[in-house]
Amino acid sequence: MNDLNSASEWVEYAEEDFVMAKSALRRRKPLVTSSCFHSQQCAEKYLKAMLVSRGAEFPKTHDLIILDRLCNEAGVFTGFTREELGRLSAYAVHTRYPGAQPAPDEGQEALEIASFIRRFARAFLGIGR
């Protein structure tokens, strides 16, 4: 049973998504769609971990812009851009269904954005690399 009020639980799940996102891009035939999805999930869970650490409530959402706004309201001033958060947020849903799949460069960009959010959150939470 997981504890939704434990920042460390959110971090544990975020790290699993981070490893999956990186691994998916490192394959001989990269799994770009999966990498984008897991990059978004990593960022979402790190934002939620920071909110939990501040005792802030949040809705069930995959929207990183909303979660970032809630972080700012809770005194966690991230400085993430709406543009980057919006691009990454889209992968929470669009990657689940066939259609316009992300290109390899989009997969790398998604991982870079997630990595930036991860570094910020880990520093904020006092966690080493």
- Hey, where are the domains in the chain? 7-125
pLDDT of residue 1: 38
Q: Phi and psi dihedrals of 50, rounded to 5? A: -65, -40
Structurally, what CATH architecture does the domain formed by 7-125 represent? Up-down Bundle (1.20)
pLDDT of residue 100: 76
- Ranges of the chain with pLDDT below 70: 1-4, 129
CA 48, distance to chain mean position in Å, is 9
pTM: 0.93
Q: How far apart are CA 78 and CA 46, in angstroms?
A: 12
Q: Is 59 in contact with 17 (CB distance < 8 Å)?
A: no
Phi-psi region of 96 (alpha: psi -120 to 50; beta: other; left: phi over 0): alpha
